[in-house]
Amino acid sequence: MPSVYIKTYGCQMNVRDSEAVAAQLLARGYTLAPSEEQADIVLLNTCSVRDHAEQTALNKMRALAADFRRSGREVVLGFLGCMAQSRGAELLRQVPGVDLVLGTQKLHRTADYLDELLRGRRTAVVDTAPEAGSESAIREHLPALNGSTPVTAYVSIMQGCNQHCTFCIVPQTRGPERSRSIRDIVAECRELAARGVKEVILLGQIVTSYGRRPGPDGRPGWLAPDEPWPVADGDGGRPRSPFVRLLEAVHEVDGIERIRFTAPHPKGYGEDLIEAYGRLPKLVESAHLPVQSGSNRILKLMRRGYTRERFLEIVARLRAVKPGMGISTDIIVGFPGETEEDFEQTLELCREVEFDNVFLFKYSPRRNTPAATMPGALPQEVIEERHARALELINQIARRRYAAMVGRTVQILVEGPSKKNPQRMMGRTRCNKIVVFEGSERHRGQLLDVRIVRAGSYTLYGDPAIVGIAPVERGAPVDEAEG
């Protein structure tokens, strides 16, 4: 059977989609190629959140098409995902040689369409139409590769977004919110646990909106079609949101040791979710809270639906429940109309919260979004200068917070060899910090207590000898920025 190479751009949801497509193709008899040069089929799973991501994928595909034309090799080339959804048939004209364009609700059709292309039944395929039930159509996970079962696994709980922030194209590329049933998600988590997975990461464009949109028949979005209508909680307390109901259900799965989720919206942090961190031991103390800006004026222009004060209140309540809570965020600099005062308010928010990690982005106009036509577009040099200033502050705060971990004993879940130095092993703390230590393959999947002896750039270094793990021969220390 033909071999396939899949290259992924963008977020964790794209990573999960690519994994599911790969598993689907393996089940159909295809093989996975180690590189595009050795593949019969090359698929780029694309991102549209920023223009840079789109241009990178377009340039990559143009280069591949040119290389294969020069070599005379016949290779099937395809775009998947968000840019495929946004641009559709336009991509066939923009990149001659492309054979397949599949949108975000059609990824489960990949194997069928490839079969038709390879058999000559079609010369090109473009399918970006919405499809009912697509949120539950892909649940395949890759089998154990190279003899090792992944320790962590992504589980998609919903598709789409109803938030419509003025800067974001995702509601156009992913469609409206559609949730899978709790029963279906729990069954997937049980299957993963049976294969040795210890940690699940629940995924959605806004996971805290899970189940809030009714299904096609008006029933709660988190119910399977044949499940009875739910009764009241009956415990005398405040009602639980569908997302908290899901967390509780996954928490009961034997073999799953840790639960994470991404990406939420600050609006979804109600009292029931905040208090869940205190009563669900498997729900790790890690929260990714995308703030985007520290200025109320800019937040209103972004149509985010919360204020700076509300965001700070959520952070304070989370840290009251779990003082060691690791908090990360997303920030956009250079939004149209952003003044120096607005930007300074964002810097001050960073100083006040002291985020453990910040994903910092330069504003990128996306077509057909309200922000793209807003007045007050900033010169690129201003955006670059503000980005540099923000990055310097963010890194300064992170260095201080990581250095404060030295001397502490923390629990890590060992995921496997370090990416930068395969001679060492790496794990992740409950608050989502990378720890590198000198161990061996036998530690994969274990929950270990290690003492932090050094802090690097967004990486901690632990000494397992402190807790009775025999160290391997030491090599030269290496800074491994893995996070």
> Phi and psi of 44, rounded to 5°?
-105, 115
168 is in an annotated binding site: yes
186 three-state secondary structure: helix
* CA–CA separation, 346 and 296 (whole Å): 10
- Residue 195 Cα distances to 108, 122, 192, 292, angstroms: 22, 38, 5, 38
195 three-state secondary structure: coil
165 is in an annotated binding site: yes
Q: Is residue 279 classed exposed, middle or buried when 0-12, 13-18 and 19+ CB atoms within 10 A define those classes?
A: exposed
Q: Which tokens go with 63?
A: 């280069």
Establish how many alpha carbons lie within 13 A of residue 412's alpha carbon, considering only the half-sphere containing its beta carbon.
Answer: 28
* CA–CA separation, 269 and 426 (whole Å): 31
* CA–CA separation, 177 and 134 (whole Å): 11
350 is in an annotated binding site: no
Kindly state the greatest CA–CA separation across the chain. Answer: 71
Q: How many other C-beta atoms are found inside a 10 Å radius of the C-beta of residue 184?
A: 16
> Phi and psi of 6, rounded to 5°?
-115, 125
228 three-state secondary structure: coil
162 three-state secondary structure: coil
Q: How many other C-beta atoms are found inside a 10 Å radius of the C-beta of residue 40?
A: 18
422 three-state secondary structure: coil
> Phi and psi of 145, rounded to 5°?
-105, 140
Question: Which runs of E-coded beta strand occur in 292-417?
Answer: 326-333, 357-362, 409-417
- Report the DSSP pairing between strands 100-102 and 76-81: parallel
* CA–CA separation, 204 and 179 (whole Å): 9
431 is in an annotated binding site: no
82 is in an annotated binding site: yes
Cα-Cα-Cα-Cα dihedral sign, residues 328, 336, 366, 180: positive
Whether the CB-CB separation of 85 and 122 falls below 8 Å is answered with: no
Angle at 214 between CA 213 and CA 215, to 5 degrees: 120
Nearest CA-CA partner of 97 in 123, 65, 71: 65
Angle of helix 242-251 versus helix 182-194 axis, rounded to 10 = 30
* CA–CA separation, 2 and 42 (whole Å): 11
Whether the CB-CB separation of 207 and 263 falls below 8 Å is answered with: yes
Annotated binding site: 11, 47, 82, 161, 165, 168
Annotated binding site for [4Fe-4S] cluster: 11, 47, 82, 161, 165, 168
